[in-house]
Each structure stands twice: as C-alpha cells, then as structure tokens.
Amino acid sequence: KAVFRRTVAIGRERGKWLPFVEGTVGFVTIHPSFILRQQDSESRAATYRGLVKDLRLIAQRIHRAAA
C-alpha cells in the first residue's frame, strides 16, 4: 500500500507492472518468505518456480532498459 498508494491484492495482481505515483512502474510479486509458509514441498517448489519466473521478467526489463 505504501509503494502503490493503494491496496494491492498480490494473488490477483502478481505478475503485473503497476504505476507508482511518480510515473515509474513496479512489479507485483510475492515476498520470498511466502515460499516457506507453504504447507508441503510440492507447493513450496511451485511457489519458488513462480518467484524465479517473476524475477526473470524483472531482469529482462532491466536489461532492455539498459540497452
């Protein structure tokens, strides 16, 4: 809420680029500790893979912007 100046539902908006008030954008993803709170190893692995996917999308955008 402090970053986007509104409530952001992570489950619904994860994987999206949302505008900040200043005109830049931020990417919505989970906090890494969420992985540890998953009930079983299969859920932890799937959640981890999702976070890695999100981080790769962020890295791609940074590399494109730097080029």
* In the predicted structure, residue 45 carries a pLDDT above the cut 80: yes
pTM of the model: 0.84
Q: What pLDDT, on the 0 to 100 scale, is given for residue 6? A: 87
Collect all residues with Cβ–Cβ distance below 8 Å to 24 and sequence separation of at least 6. Answer: none
Q: Where are the beta strands (DSSP E) in 1-67?
A: 17-19, 25-27
Distance CA 3, CA 6 (A): 8
**pLDDT, mean of residues 41-54:** 97
Does position 24 have pLDDT exceeding 90, yes or no?
Answer: no
Q: Tell me what the mean pLDDT of segment 4-33 comes to.
A: 90
Q: Alpha-carbon distance 32 to 22, whole Å?
A: 26
pLDDT of residue 28: 95
